[in-house]
Amino acid sequence: MNTMTESKKTVTLNYINGEWVASDSEQTAVSKNPAKIGEDVGYYQISSSNDFDQAAISARKAQKAWGKLAGSVRGDYLLKAAAILEERIEDVATAMTQEMGKTFAEAKGETARGVAILRYYAGEGMRAIGDVIPSSDSDALMFTTRVPLGVVGVITPWNFPVAIPLWKMAPALIYGNAVVVKPASDTAITCSKVINCLHDAGIPAGVVNMVTGSGAKIGMEMVNHPEIDAITFTGSNTVGKQLAHAAVDRGIKYQLEMGGKNPVIVANDADLDLAADATISGGLKSTGQKCTATSRVIVHKDVYEEFKEKLLTKMKTITVGDGFETGTWMGPCASEGQLETVLSYIEKGKQEGAKLLYGGNQVLKDQGYYVEPTVFENATPSMTIAREEIFGPVLVLLKVETMEEALEMANDSEYGLSASIFTTNIGNMLSFINEMDAGLVRINAESAGVELQAPFGGMKQSSSHSREQGRAAIEFFTSIKTVFVK
Ligand SMILES: NC(=O)C1=CN([C@@H]2O[C@H](COP(=O)(O)OP(=O)(O)OC[C@H]3O[C@@H](n4cnc5c(N)ncnc54)[C@H](O)[C@@H]3O)[C@@H](O)[C@H]2O)C=CC1
Ligand SMILES: O=C(O)CCC(=O)C(=O)O
């Protein structure tokens, strides 16, 4: 059981060496429902250094035998976990909607994606892990193989509390690593339900561990711990950079997926209904809390007014509310802190002279942390709302004279995660594919929408220039060994 009952409270436990255990700090914190002020979802452990130490040591011990299993045997555990997660979709998605506010439909979709991730990486256990390379010595055999890194520390955010832990843990595990995961506190309960699926699948004790608590404490201990051989992180740039410095100091491998300020270009030959729908879906689904969310909408002057009208008409139909209620299209911000951040960016946009076209207000104040879908125009590329990641349902319209200017503006960002263009012109498409500095470029499709079997990651400040997901994950979670036999 991943929980215990204490004074009528449901308390989520840490998972260390195959057992659900309370922290020796004897302290817990509450996970709150952002859709209902005052409703507690449950409690999680505020872990101590000793808890983390135990988890890391257990992982080290377990990794030795785990790494020696055949890939197909490791894959069988992932397949079992996938089947269990699939049976528990409603329960896991319920916890997700309660903890971070995503609509129940989105939460079920994400959990189903988690199932697919486990199945995809189970298959990786049977695929090639090396090449035979002709040696200059004709009597020798030379080839590459791949070995696990050892114990991988996994630090995850709250915005995809099932998919992100799984797209990091599943490849780590299939390639023979053990893991210690520290989930975001806001979604610790959801993550514990995912870990419970691996536990119920019978994964050997110590191969998977979860320790909840403060990022500043447990996260930093993780990167500095001698039993941790690599760190994979998704979250803010500030934290990512701190982790990178610490990882470099220790000489361990690290992988960071961080922010985005993702542009959409709407050309004068675009299908404007498609562009407006995709801008809304890409920018406002999950209340804009995706690193791939559309944020800057760069529109050619010839179609600017028509596109704007279509966008506004569609935006006005968006219903904001509790993600469990039928008819809700957009849930609350994930936490009070996140709501405050979004409102402060909206305020800054107004102060710096952008025109608020629609939204901008906190709504349903007495119920939860809700904000209206919001769009600005008359913004300049140097304004804060056009430069910084907002991580909320805020779009910024920018008008351009030419396609060259559009591409230049799209690239004028410290980030380079994802980008879209809406056009019917092959020349525009090709220029965008070749010249857009982003890890994910999408033509006539929204900027969000990552496929688990394809590489995912950003350019510039959006990532550590590595890629996760798909076959690309093997590059981070293994080391190449070149073997020469004579
Ligand atoms: N790229 C993405 O998908 C995400 C981006 N963000 C961005 O970050 C902003 C703030 O969100 P937060 O949840 O506060 O992100 P964060 O970067 O603080 O948290 C992400 C994870 O890192 C952990 N963490 C926090 N401080 C740490 C430290 N010093 N050392 C090691 N681990 C640490 C957290 O506990 C959590 O598990 C958002 O508004 C958004 O702009 C947040 C979440 C996901
Ligand atoms: O767009 C997606 O599906 C994934 C987004 C993501 O990785 C993130 O927000 O951290």
Q: What is the tally of structural domains in the chain? A: 2
User: b/e string for 24-62 if b means 16 or more Cβ within 10 A?
Assistant: eeeebeebbbbbbeeeebbbbbbbbeebbbbbbbbbbbb
For residues 161 and 76, state if they share a domain. Answer: yes
Do 254 and 272 sit in the same domain of this protein? Answer: no
Contact 405, 304 (CB under 8 A): no
Instruction: Please indicate, yes or no, if residue 63 is contained in any of the structural domains.
Output: yes
- 395 burial (CB, 10 Å; 0-12 / 13-18 / 19+) is buried
Same domain, 425 and 292: yes
Q: Check which CATH number belongs to the domain holding 252 and give it.
A: 3.40.605.10
Q: Are residues 267 and 182 in the same domain?
A: no
CA of 417 to the centre of ligand 2 (A): 10
Q: What is the pLDDT of residue 211?
A: 98
Q: Assign residue 280 the CATH number of its domain.
A: 3.40.309.10
Give the DSSP H/E element, type plus range, for residue 485: strand 478-485
Q: Judge if 154 and 238 occupy the same domain.
A: yes
Residues 48 and 171 in one domain: yes
What is the Å distance from ligand 1's center to 157 Cα? 6
Instruction: Read off the tokens for 249.
Output: 């100091």
Shared domain for 61 and 203, answered yes or no, is: yes
Question: What is the 8-class DSSP label of residue 132?
Answer: B
Please name the residue that has the structure tokens 């404007």: 272
Residues 116 and 238 in one domain: yes
* Cα distance between residue 237 and residue 255, in whole Å: 12
Using CA atoms, how far apart are residues 263 and 255, in angstroms rounded to an integer? 24
Domain that holds residue 402: 262-452
CA of 470 to the centre of ligand 2 (A): 14
Residue whose token pair is 């990512």: 240
Ligand 2 centre from 24 Cα, in Å? 34
Tell me the average confidence (pLDDT) per consecutive run of 10 residues in the chain, 486 residues long: 77 97 97 97 97 98 98 98 98 98 98 98 97 98 98 98 98 98 98 98 98 96 98 98 98 97 98 98 98 98 98 98 98 98 98 98 98 98 98 98 98 98 98 98 96 98 97 98 98
At residue 187, the pLDDT reads: 98
Q: Is 329 among the domain residues?
A: yes
- DSSP letters for 257-298: E----EEEEE-TTS-HHHHHHHHHHHHHGGGG-STT-EEEEE
- Ligand 1 atom nearest the C-alpha of 185 is 35
Same domain for 467 and 331:
no
Atom of ligand 2 minimally distant from the CA of 290: 9
Domain shared by 481 and 417, yes or no: no
Q: Is 90 a catalytic site residue?
A: no
161 Cβ below 6 A of ligand 1: no
Q: Is residue 458 part of a domain?
A: no
Quick check: is 275 in a domain?
yes
- Domain membership of residue 473 (yes or no) is yes
207 CB near ligand 1 (under 6 Å): no
| Per-residue CA distances from 405 to 236, 272, 299, 301 (Å) | 29, 19, 10, 11
For residue 129, being part of any structural domain is answered with yes
Confirm whether 362 is domain-assigned: yes
pLDDT in the model for residue 215: 96
* pTM higher than the cut 0.80: yes
Residue 224 CB less than 6 A away from ligand 1:
no
Q: Does one domain contain both 375 and 339?
A: yes
Q: Which of 233, 239, 286, 290 to mutate to test the pocket of ligand 2 (most atoms within 8 A of CB)?
A: 290
- 249 is a domain residue: yes
Q: Whose CA is nearest to atom 4 of ligand 2?
A: 450
**Does residue 36 sit in the same domain as residue 122?**
yes
Question: Annotated catalytic residue: which of 227, 257, 372, 446?
Answer: 257
Select from 435, 461, 463, 458 the least CA-distant residue to 447: 458
Distance CA 303, CA 269 (A): 8
Q: Distance between CA atoms of 321 and 370, rounded to whole angstroms? A: 7
Ligand nearest to the CA of 233: 1
